[in-house]
Amino acid sequence: MSRKDARVVVSPEQLSSFKSLLQEQNLIYELLSDNLEAVLAKEFAQRSLVPLPQAGKGRLSTERYYTHEEIMNYIADLAARFPKRVFVRTVGWSYEQRALKTITITNGDGRANKKVVFVDGGFHAREWISPAAVLYMIDQLVEHFEENAYLLKDYDWVIQPMVNPDGYEHTQTGTTARMFRKTRQPYRQLGLTCYGADPNRNFDFHWNEEGASSSPCMDTFAGPHAFSEPETIVIRDLMHSLADRGVMYLTIHSYGNYLLYPWGWTSDLPDTWQDLDDVARAGGDAIEAATGTVYEVGSSTNVLYIAAGASDDYGFYAGFNVSITMELSGGGSLGFNPPESSIESFVSETWIGVRAMAEKLIEKY
Ligand code: 0X9
Ligand code: ZN
């Protein structure tokens, strides 16, 4: 697929009229699968269901995706093993009452009020590679402390590996649920119940303007009002509590290989866009030099699409000097489902980019 191609899923009933439409518009198309359900079911069946012995204790490998509970156990275990450097805090509860936790990683020197890098993952339920990549960053900063100590000298890293655990757990329940994106709070409209708001359209900055939907059954449903979801309130409050010290907010999504900075609600660029561009480009360049993977760098609206009410715009507005959405590589039949065999290469590549962006921050701020 080339860059401007798009994957579209069409129901069997609509396939022939959709093909005619493409032909009328002279659009070139390729049928990637004539039975997506079956492909997804096969991919889903291939994932490891059996928790590894001791999963959540000690290091987490990159050989499989983990449940929310395993991830929470893992960070608790890290805090117990490295009590001088690692701190875990419950920052709130999801709609279905799962614990939302942050892990703060320091160098243990006890110096207060350092600058902050705030990273999150798992905003969108189906983007399983996101929390996996964030776990790898945690492992690097904690278990590989010696080689990464320079990243913690003047910075604390505050990391929330799972923003939307209800959605994430839902996507683990079966093939039909695998491509679910949103939170799990139910919304009723015209006698129909649909689940969830898009957490990345729920922030109160140009909320529900372009690129967001008012319909609860849409994937980009902005919610009935801004901050209708407990999960986004938690991120908002963390952002405000960290903003004085916050140099970079980084949110990990998939897929498409993009490093995006504000704005996402308008095609205008912020005054400091060149600083944002420097940081993002440092990440993209480091990845390309190391693996050859090319990330496209630019403002969300200008290189991807306009979408208002997202966390990156809000974090920048709240005071972070730099705010970046990193869209990792795609894999599997739909891009959101890279096989377990590719986790290691995707997450280690992500770390190369994140480390380079942090180095650029240290140089500039
Ligand atoms: O649409 C999104 O929320 C993000 N892409 S994804 O495929 N992971 O859903 C991109 C968000 C970019 N940022 C803004 N538009 N502000
Ligand atoms: Zn996403």
150-200 per-position pLDDT tens digit:
999 999 999 999 999 999 999 999 999 999 999 999 999 989 999 999 999
Q: How far is CA 327 from CA 33, 146, 249, 303, in A?
A: 24, 28, 14, 12
Residues 290 and 352: beta-carbon distance below 8 Å: yes
Instruction: Express as a percent the part of the chain with pLDDT over 90.
Output: 83
Residue of 202, 256, 255, 270 whose CA lies nearest to 232? 202
The answer to the question of residue 97 being in a domain is yes
- Helix (H) or strand (E) holding 186, with range, is strand 186-189
Q: What per-residue confidence (pLDDT) applies to 50?
A: 53
Please give the DSSP secondary-structure letter assigned to residue 35: -
Give just the sign of the alpha carbon dihedral 72, 81, 236, 120: negative
Q: Which residue of 299, 325, 328 sits with most ligand 1 atoms within 8 Å of its CB, as the best mutation to test the pocket?
A: 325
pLDDT for the residue 56: 54
| Calpha distance 144→44 (Å, rounded) | 33
Binned at pLDDT 50, 70 and 90, residue 8 comes out as confident
Nearest to 120 by CA among 220, 222, 200: 200
Query: Phi, psi (5° rounding) for residue 169?
Result: -65, -35
The answer to the question of residue 35 being in a domain is: no
For residue 182, being part of any structural domain is answered with no
Calpha distance 342→132 (Å, rounded):
11
The answer, yes or no, to whether any atom of ligand 1 lies below 6 A from the CB of 43, is no
Q: Measure the CA–CA gap between 107 and 123, rounded to whole angstroms.
A: 27
Counting from 1 in the atom list of ligand 1, the atom nearest the Cα of 211 is 15
CA of 24 to the centre of ligand 2 (A): 32
Instruction: Using most ligand atoms within 8 A of CB, pick from 200, 210, 259, 336 the residue to mutate for ligand 1.
Output: 200
Ligand 2 center–CA 254 separation, angstroms? 5
**Mean pLDDT score across all residues of the chain:** 94
Please report which confidence band the pLDDT of residue 34 belongs to, taking 50, 70 and 90 as the band edges. confident
Residue 296: is its pLDDT beyond 60?
A: yes
Q: Do the domain assignments include residue 192?
A: no
- The angle formed by the CA atoms of residues 337, 168 and 120, to the nearest 5 degrees, is 90
**Is pLDDT of 248 > 50?**
yes
Residue 236 lies in a domain: yes
DSSP one-letter code for 60: P
Q: Is the minimum distance from the CB of 312 to ligand 1 under 6 angstroms?
A: yes
Q: Is the CB–ligand 1 distance for residue 212 below 6 Å?
A: no
| Number of domain units in the chain | 1
Q: Which residues surround ligand 2, an ion (CB under 5 A)?
A: 124, 253
- Tell me how crowded residue 60 is: count the other CB atoms within 10 A of its CB: 23
Residue nearest to atom 14 of ligand 1 (CA): 264
Nearest of 90, 75, 62, 65 to residue 141 by alpha carbon: 75
200 in ligand 1 pocket by Cβ < 6 Å?
A: yes
Q: How far apart are CA 10 and CA 16, in angstroms?
A: 10
Measured in angstroms, how far is the CA atom of residue 260 from the centroid of ligand 1?
A: 9
Answer yes or no: is the C-beta of 216 below 6 A from any ligand 1 atom: no
> How many A from CA of 80 to the centre of ligand 1?
35
CB distance 251 to ligand 1 below 6 Å: no
> What does the pLDDT look like over 200-228, one tens digit per residue?
999 999 999 999 999 999 999 999 999 99
Establish whether residue 260 lines the binding site of ligand 1, counting it when its CB lies within 6 angstroms of any ligand atom: yes
Give Cβ neighbours of residue 279 (< 8 Å, ≥ 6 apart).
248, 322, 324, 357, 360, 361, 364
* Count of C-beta atoms within a 10 Å radius of residue 348: 15
Higher pLDDT, 220 or 44: 220
**Average pLDDT value for residue range 85-108:** 98
Whether 48 shows a pLDDT value over 80: the answer reads no
Position 246 in a domain: yes
**Does residue 264 have its Cβ closer than 6 Å to ligand 1?**
yes
Does residue 351 lie in a domain region? yes
Q: Which ligand neighbours the alpha carbon of 259 most closely?
A: 1
CB 231 within 8 A of CB 95: yes
DSSP 97-121: --EEEEEEE--SS---S-EEEEEEE
- In the reported structure, the alpha carbon of residue 352 is separated from the centroid of ligand 1 by a whole-number distance in angstroms of 22
Instruction: Quote the pLDDT of residue 59.
Output: 74
327-343: per-residue pLDDT in tens? 999 998 889 999 999 99
CATH code for the domain of 71: 3.40.630.10
Joined tokens for residue 225: 């009002």
Catalytic residues: 327
- Report the 3 state secondary structure along 297-325: EEEHHHHCCCCCCCHHHHHHHHCCCEEEE
Please give the DSSP secondary-structure letter assigned to residue 59: P
Nearest CA to ligand 1 atom 2: 200
Q: Is the CB of 300 under 6 A from ligand 1?
A: yes
Residue 153 lies in a domain: yes
- Could you say which ligand is closest to the alpha carbon of residue 335? 1
What's the whole-model pTM score?
A: 0.94
Nearest ligand 1 atom to the CA of 127 is: 8
Q: What number of other Cβ atoms are within 10 A of residue 236's Cβ?
A: 19
Cα(71)–Cα(65) distance, integer angstroms: 10
- CA–centroid distance, residue 192 to ligand 1 (Å): 26
Domain hosting residue 276, numbered range: 44-172+220-364
175 alpha carbon to ligand 2 midpoint, in Å? 19
φ and ψ at 316, to 5 degrees? -70, -45
Q: Which residue has the tokens 């892990």?
A: 103
CA distance 284 to 90: 33
Q: Is the CB of 161 under 6 A from ligand 1?
A: no
